[in-house]
Amino acid sequence: MAKVVEEKRVVTIVFAGDSGDGIQLTGTQFTNTSALFGNDVSTFPNYPAEIRAPQGTVAGVSGFQLQFGSVEVYTAGDICDVLVAMNAAAFKVNLPRLKKSGTIIINTDGFNAKDLRLAGYESSPLEDKSLEDYRTISIDVTKLTAAALVDSGLGKKEVERSRNMFVLGFLYYMYNREIAPTEKFIKEKFAKAPHLIDANIKVLKAGYNFGDTSETFTSRYNVKAAKLPVGTYRNIMGNQATALGLVAASQKAGLDLFYGSYPITPASDILHELSKHKNFGVKTFQAEDEIAAVCSTIGASFGGELGVTASSGPGIALKGEAIGLAVMLELPMVVINVQRGGPSTGLPTKTEQADLMQAMYGRNGEAPMPVISASSPSDCFDAAFEACRIAIEHMTPVFFLSDGYMANGSEPWKFPTTDELKEIKVVHAKERKQDDPEFLPYKRDERLVREWALPGTKGLEHRIGGIEKEWDTGNISYNPENHERMVKVRAAKVARIADSIPLQTIDSGADSGKVLVLGWGSTYGVIKTALKECLEEGLEVSHAHLRYIEPFPKNLGEIIKKFDKVLIPEMNNGQLVKIIRDKFLVDAKGLNKIKGIPFSTPEIVLAIKELAHA
């Protein structure tokens, strides 16, 4: 039967199954194929918190949400058009996210008596009337995969691991996608196991052909390529973009990059990516603990390299004393916090923005640091690059904030050429000759920045360590007046960074009006989407998004004063809102969500309307 092709502007799909069903790989392959086709894409992987939760349970569900379109998309979507459920637990967890009249693709083999019991169902939702509002496509994926591989010689477990390829092939047919990119991926992934190449490609084609030959649906869908600015693009995840931003900064500065870290979710992929770039002078060190990781990074910075360390909130807490040492030494270093749900171990695979106060104030004593935040997966490149520039040019450790949503999410990235990147100026203290004046390690320029003295350079010997330094000389000092003077000057140095960063701009809306939505971090996409909806309805609302949080851009206060009300959405219990109230004495209103999942567009829209009409 010939199938009608319907045009769609935007489609949101949720892939869901057990943590061993290859859900992340399936979602990633569909994403990459759509990106290669030219769609704008945004993704949100959702991992189970336990390393290996009991199979078939709600706790073990792994999800991958993808929005792709022929227009610009800024989030992974709010409600989905299609839900792919590999078992009953995945169905139960994700059904509330499916729109009415949406499509459910169900693996019927995942709805046997055991799976229903583990998911907490007393009866099968496939057999009652609970799915009347949806379009249900029931496929015994396990049986059809086994049939495709009947002569493969593979065992039952290996056959079942290929089920995700059947679903992927089926969706490729449904959305008029080529299977060639995934065939190439399979050949590269299983290059040393030809029998797995044959098996996975056979199942991929079986799923595609099932969509073609069965009468499962009468319509196929087409999502045209998006009209993006001209350039060379690749699909990129936030952690990958962060790693490449660090490499680009080290190359621009002419410095080797040292990355010291201890594995922790969701920051570990930065280490994985950087380890691939030794040809660019990148040294990666997996330390035995968080303290060793940060101390080795301080040593690398002292030795003249671009030192970078990364973790999530719990690891940053362990690094706290050593980060204070870097503040005292005034060395260039980047500290990356890929935020997750807390406190303590908290929600290790879920996203949150709850470490802003930790970045601002989470060290003993007065230890101010610049704080930079990315706003999307691709923006992690620019923000990481900028964090490195500030660290090097202002001789200070810098906090770079990402989070789980950005780190694991992906979107198309138009990557820049070398000429498009800012210059990074490195100033090393020069060796002292016999008649030169004595080297003063804490003598400062007009920006209050001291010189970077490399060990082994003649005449630059000076004291190091965490005890307070004397003004200019760097000798140990317990003098009360000197201590206050040094504390004040370190704070002033950070404040003067505002002279070298861009002024704040309005992202959407007018320069003044009733409501300003002020955001930071990964809330960018959902705020952008909400603003578009509100502006189309004629609401007087604008959006500004912060990259520089410490110090703020010099004109931020002026912008805030041009609006009657300020709304600050955050995935925490109200942190930036406290800082804005303190700094600018405005009655900013917080919109807070602490559920381990991002805001939805309707949540932001509702808060804007309530504030606009209050």
For residue 10, the cross-strand partners are 69
* Cα(311)–Cα(267) distance, integer angstroms: 6
The answer to pTM > 0.85 is yes
Cβ distance 72 to 226 under 8 Å?
A: yes
Backbone angles phi, psi at 319, to 5 degrees: -80, -5
Residue type at 17 in one-letter notation: G
Q: What is the rounded CA–CA span in Å between residue 595 and residue 572?
A: 9
**Alpha-carbon dihedral sign for residues 554, 559, 564, 570:** negative
Instruction: Work out the mean pLDDT of the chain and round it to a whole number.
Output: 95
Percentage of residues in the chain having pLDDT higher than 90: 89
Q: Identify the pLDDT of residue 19.
A: 82
Report if residue 31 sits inside a domain: yes
Q: Are residues 333 and 472 in the same domain?
A: no
- pLDDT value for 20: 82
103 and 152 belong to one structural domain: yes
pLDDT single digits (tens) 165-219: 999 999 999 999 999 999 999 999 999 999 999 999 999 999 999 999 987 777 8
Do 321 and 265 lie in one domain? The reply is yes
148 in any annotated domain: yes
Average pLDDT on 114-132 reads 89
CA angle 50, 56, 61 (to 5 degrees): 50
Is 360 domain-assigned?
A: yes
For residues 55 and 186, membership in a common domain is answered with yes
Q: Tell me which of 499, 521, 555 is where a domain ends.
A: 499
Mean pLDDT of 241-254: 98
In this model, does residue 74 exceed pLDDT 60? yes
How do residues 418-477 score in pLDDT, each as one tens digit? 999 999 999 999 999 989 999 999 999 999 999 999 999 999 999 999 999 999 999 999
Q: What is the pLDDT of residue 139?
A: 95
- Please tell me which residue, 509 or 127, carries the higher pLDDT value: 509
DSSP state of 428: B
**Domain assignment of residue 50, given as a range:** 4-222
Asked whether residue 542 is assigned to any structural domain, the reply reads yes
**Statement to judge: residues 243 and 310 lie in one domain:** yes
133 and 68 co-located in one domain: yes
Of the residues 499, 521, 552, which one is the last residue of a structural domain?
499
Domain boundary among 387, 415, 443: 415
The domain total for the chain is: 4
Q: Which residue has the higher pLDDT, 229 or 360?
A: 360
Whether residue 470 is found in the same domain as residue 381: no
pLDDT at 508 over 80: yes
Residues 448 and 541 occupy one common structural domain? no
pLDDT of residue 51: 67
Residue 447's identity, in one-letter code, is R
Mean pLDDT, range 492-520, rounded to an integer: 98
Residue 228 lies in a domain: no
185 located within any domain = yes
Please give the pLDDT value at position 54. 78
Give the end-to-end CA distance of the chain in Å, rounded to a whole number.
56
Do 524 and 556 share a structural domain?
A: yes
How large is the average pLDDT for residues 482-501?
98
Phi/psi of residue 437, each to 5°?
-65, 160
The pLDDT score that the predictor gives to residue 130 is 81
Q: Are residues 162 and 208 in the same domain?
A: yes
Q: Quick one: pLDDT band at residue 152, thresholds 50, 70, 90?
A: confident
Within a domain: 229: no
DSSP state of 300: H
Residue 422 belongs to some domain of the structure: no
pLDDT of the residue at 1: 55
Determine the pLDDT at residue 222.
94
Closest CA to 253 of 299, 296, 301: 301
Place of tokens 């990106």: 35
CA distances from 509 to 477, 539, 544 (A): 53, 10, 9
Beta bridge partners of 82: 13, 103
According to the model, what pLDDT value does residue 475 have? 95
CATH code of residue 247: 3.40.50.970
| pLDDT confidence of residue 2 | 63
- Quote the Cα angle for 172-174-179, to 5°: 15
pLDDT digits (tens, 9 = 90+) for 16-39: 999 888 999 999 999 999 999 999
Residue type, 378: S
Is residue 211 domain-shared with residue 244, that is, in the same domain? no
- Say if residue 323 is in the same domain as residue 437: no
Sequence-separated (6 or more) residues with CB below 8 Å from residue 149: 159, 162, 199, 202, 203
